[in-house]
Amino acid sequence: MEILDGIAPVADRYDGFVLDLWGVVHDGRRPYPGVPEALAELKSRGKRVAFLTNAPRRSWFIEGMLDRMGLDRGLYDGIISSGEIAWRMLKARSHPWFARLGRRALHIGPERDLSVVEEGVAELVTDPARADFLLNTGPDPERGATDAAPYRPALAAAAAHHLPMLCVNPDRHVMVAGERLICAGALADLYLGLGGGDVFEVGKPDPAVYDPVLELLGIQDRKRVLAIGDSPHTDLAGAQAAGLDALWALTGLAAHAHGESPSSEELRAVALAEGVDPLAAVRALRW
């Protein structure tokens, strides 16, 4: 697999770019070095740039986070998050899984994720016996974000009531400021192991989440759009399923798993094992 130093060699082949956030654009605290400059180069060439993230919060919330990191809004054209899509699906109730879902939700996750139920798309309850479904947005501050085990009692109680789970972040792990933390997907795996069998995951790698991103970009020809992500399981698999070319960013989870200087042969073997075939790898989102 070819390993690029930056995106300049391939940028002119595409009109639009779909970028993961955590692990590609920023480390959970600040943008990676070179990212603002790379985005500025893309925009100066008339490229369209959208962020697609499995974050379990609505897009307006993510935009505020990027503001606080100092990332200029002029460097991108919009954001689609798994939290935004989940909110839209809860509001519309047109998808078959959501159409049969009750309105009372037992929430596992931090309070900052509650934008996914704003405008009354769901009613929060604290008793699993009263809940219609389990809303899983990931770890909370009380039980921590390094191990899924502290969530077992709450998940077991929900499983005992056969609550369907809405998982608003299919990621299993994420890198935040160099630390590997669990995400909602890890709790979904534990829930399945406890007998909670009805889990619906919103986000990458589901190819359906790319439709609103392409609409945001205003580009119909998928061959003119490049996706960049650090996770073969979600970012690369999702892009491939949606018919987009993809670059594998060797930052975030990829850097944690494969070190700073993985060989092209090692990366190729990992990609094949995941069933993905990215265009190339790139050492970082830089020009």
In the chain, what are the domains? Answer: 3-54+205-282 (3.40.50.1000), 102-201 (3.40.50.1000)
Distances (CA, A) of 227 to 78, 135, 202: 14, 28, 18
CB 26 within 8 A of CB 53: no
Please tell me the predicted confidence (pLDDT) of residue 110. Answer: 96
| Radius of gyration of the chain measured on its C-alpha atoms | 19
Average pLDDT on 39-57 reads 98
pLDDT confidence of 176, banded at 50, 70, 90? confident
CB 84 within 8 A of CB 159: no
CB 22 within 8 A of CB 28: yes
pTM of the predicted model, to two decimals?
0.94
Q: Report the alpha-carbon distance of residue 281 to residue 5 in Å, rounded.
A: 9
Q: Report the alpha-carbon distance of residue 166 to residue 169 in Å, rounded.
A: 9
Output the CA torsion sign for 230, 255, 270, 264: positive
pLDDT at 259 over 90: no
Closest CA to 80 of 55, 57, 39, 51: 51
Lowest mean pLDDT among 57-61, 149-153, 177-181, 283-287: 177-181
pLDDT tens figures, 190-212: 999 999 879 999 999 999 999 99
Closest CA to 167 of 192, 200, 210, 143: 200
Please tell me the predicted confidence (pLDDT) of residue 196. Answer: 83
Closest CA to 228 of 253, 214, 247, 252: 247
